[in-house]
Amino acid sequence: MAPDRAELVYAVRRAMKLARLETDQTMDEFAAALSRELGSQQTRQRVNEWEAGDRTPRATVLLAAARVAGTGLDYLFREPPTRGELTEQIRELARPDEEGDRSAAQE
C-alpha cells in the first residue's frame, strides 16, 4: 500500500532535519551550505519550513541535503531504529571490548 500524504510529509521533514543534524549545523549554516550546493539562495526560514512540514522541498533540494550531509537519500529516508534496537546499540557501546579488558587487567 502506498504511503499517504501525511506519511510522506513526515518522512521528508525527518530527512531534512536528519541531514542538518548529521552536519551538526544550525539552520543558518545548513541554509548557507545548501545555497552553495544548489547555486541559489536558501534561508534559515526555508529550512525551518521544510523541517516543520509547512513546505515540501524539491527533489533537487533533498539530493543537495544528502550531499551536504555526506550521505545518500536511502540513509536520510531509512526507518528510524526501534526502541529495542537503540537499547541493544547502547548495550553494545557500554560493553568493554576484550582488548581494553586485557590491558586494564595487566596494569
pLDDT of 87 reads 85
**Residue 30's pLDDT is what?**
97
Which residues of the chain are modeled with pLDDT < 50?
Answer: none
pTM, entire model: 0.72
3-state secondary structure of 99: helix
In CATH, the architecture of 5-80 is: Orthogonal Bundle (1.10)
pLDDT score of 39: 97
**pLDDT on residue 105:** 52
